[in-house]
Amino acid sequence: MDARRWSAVGAVVLIGAAVVAAAVTAVQNFPRGIILVALLAGAVLAAYEAVWRRGRSRTLLLGAAGVLLVAAVVATFVWQLWLDLAVVGVLLALGLTLARRAFRASVRLDPAVPPRHAVVVWNPRSGGGKALAAGLAAEAQARGIEPIELRPGDDLERLVRDAVARGADALAAAGGDGTQALVARIAAEHDLPFACIPAGTRNHFALDLGVDRDDVVGALDAFVDGGERRVDLAEVNGRTFVNNVSLGVYASAVQEAGYRDAKLRTLLETASAFGGAGGDGEDPDGAQRELRWIGPGGEPQSRAAVILVSNNPYRLGELLGAGTRPAIDRHTLGIAVMTGPTGRTTDGRARPPWEQWQAEQFVIDCAGKVPIGVDGEALVLSAPLEFTIRPAALRVRLAPQHPGASPSAQLPDGPADGVRRLVSIAVGRQH
């Protein structure tokens, strides 16, 4: 058996042992064990419900969760059950650790033919100077890759197109996601291999592609002995983006001058200004505007605090892998509209404060121009905003030592799915 299967076997055994130990503790210490389990379960449920609420109801639920948790801790020591719970906790922690290893994605691609004249465009200022600190230019030259430094005042698109005109047969970008998007667009236009070098601040595109974000230099090996696969690109009004386009709170925040220096503070201040706005905002000229779009059921909609349109769907609201895309090759846009807490579903479950669906095309209309965030960069575009997906548009090269897949590519959808998939891996039914 391989390491992944051994991890799954260990996870199943340890998690099963934790469940058995918890059940034995509850039965042997009846009714105290049952009461303790009820206190812990109540604390977890109250905290979970609080996530979907706001205002007074959230405060009350968080307070209830805190009280129940304190009561459980006190009961553990008063009833001398701390050793039993410690055993359960250790077994569960070890089992979950092995489960994470079993769900860790790793894809090995067949080596592609190395390019003859690869070029990497690098920004020495991106990510606090990551590329400069790593000596990227010298490392690229050592691999036969031509480094082109992006200096202040340079036209990035002109630099890349000139490189292609000189015979470049592979393009790499070492910079933020905006830089990645522009270079990727030109690579796709000429059907050239593209490599993402994680030299930006957050490197979201690199993460979801399966590039090791901590290995700036190693990413260059994509053009040495790396493998290749195709991924999608997305467009808004003809402008390519690799991650997402946001409208609403975040889009307005990135328009602020202080956003890059104080992102969290700017986001909070902008969010408070949006409180009660219900999807209305202001154009750059101060005029009020209302966003309009068609929902997943074909119904017109116009109220939202945040709209996120992404190049393939993100995992939202999950305990693991939230904010990542399991794949960028599913040939669809991801659309998420956040409206705020919306109560409960007909079967009594908490309803998340967003609506999420997929589509190949999506249109947002309004009167006037719209401030948006495109891969984290502030823009103002004329309405309507027309989003499209470009399936398999980009040839991506990945270094052989990197994961080759998103960290959420193999993650389960909830505990029940996690148990089912762990068992499947353990018995060899899933690879």
Kindly report, residue by residue over 79-92, the tens digit of the pLDDT. Answer: 888 888 888 889 98
Structure token digits, residue 87:
């055993």
- 418 phi/psi in degrees, rounded to 5: -65, -45
- Which residues fall within 8 angstroms of residue 38, CB to CB, at 6 or more apart? none
Which ranges in 286-354 belong to alpha helices (H)? none
397 bridge partner residues: 228
Q: Give the pLDDT confidence of 272-313 residue by residue, as tens digits.
A: 444 444 444 455 444 446 899 999 989 999 877 789 999 999
pLDDT (mean) for 405-409: 90
Burial of residue 125, with CB atoms counted within 10 A of its CB: 0-12 exposed, 13-18 middle, 19 or more buried: middle
Does residue 172 sit in the same domain as residue 38?
Answer: no
Structure token digits, residue 23:
């059940």
Residue whose C-alpha is closest to residue 241's, from 306, 333, 174: 333
Q: How many domains does the chain have?
A: 3
Does residue 313 sit in the same domain as residue 225?
Answer: no
Does residue 77 sit in the same domain as residue 141?
Answer: no
DSSP assignment, residue 304?
A: -
Does residue 326 sit in the same domain as residue 215?
Answer: no
Residue whose C-alpha is closest to residue 95's, from 175, 14, 200: 14
Average pLDDT, rounded, for the chain: 85
Q: Considering only CA atoms, give the Rg of the chain.
A: 25
CA-CA distance, 398 to 221, in Å (whole number)?
8
Does residue 260 sit in the same domain as residue 373?
Answer: yes
What stretch of H or E contains 306? strand 306-311
- 310 phi/psi in degrees, rounded to 5: -125, 155
Residue 408 domain-assigned (yes or no)? no
Does residue 143 sit in the same domain as residue 202?
Answer: yes
Does residue 329 sit in the same domain as residue 213?
Answer: no
Residue 61 contacts residue 49 (beta carbons within 8 Å): yes
Structure token digits, residue 186:
């030109």
Q: Is the dihedral of CA 206, 209, 212, 215 positive or negative?
A: negative
Does residue 270 sit in the same domain as residue 349?
Answer: yes
Residue 157 domain-assigned (yes or no)? yes
The pTM of this model reads: 0.78
Residue 239 domain-assigned (yes or no)? no
Of residues 52 and 11, more confidence is placed in 11
Q: Give the pLDDT confidence of 145-166 residue by residue, as tens digits.
A: 999 999 999 999 999 999 999 9
Does residue 223 sit in the same domain as residue 359?
Answer: no
Residue 210 domain-assigned (yes or no)? yes
Residue whose C-alpha is closest to residue 191's, from 332, 404, 333, 392: 392
Q: Which amino acid is at 178?
A: G
Residue 340 pLDDT > 70, yes or no? Answer: no
CA 172 to chain centre: 22
Return the beta strands (E) in 126-192 as ranges. 146-149, 170-174
Q: What does the pLDDT read at residue 66?
A: 93
Residue 350 contacts residue 344 (beta carbons within 8 Å): yes
Does residue 249 sit in the same domain as residue 339?
Answer: yes
Residue 226 pLDDT > 70, yes or no? Answer: yes
Does residue 265 sit in the same domain as residue 350?
Answer: yes
Residue 349 pLDDT > 80, yes or no? Answer: no
Residue 262 pLDDT > 70, yes or no? Answer: no
Does residue 95 sit in the same domain as residue 41?
Answer: yes
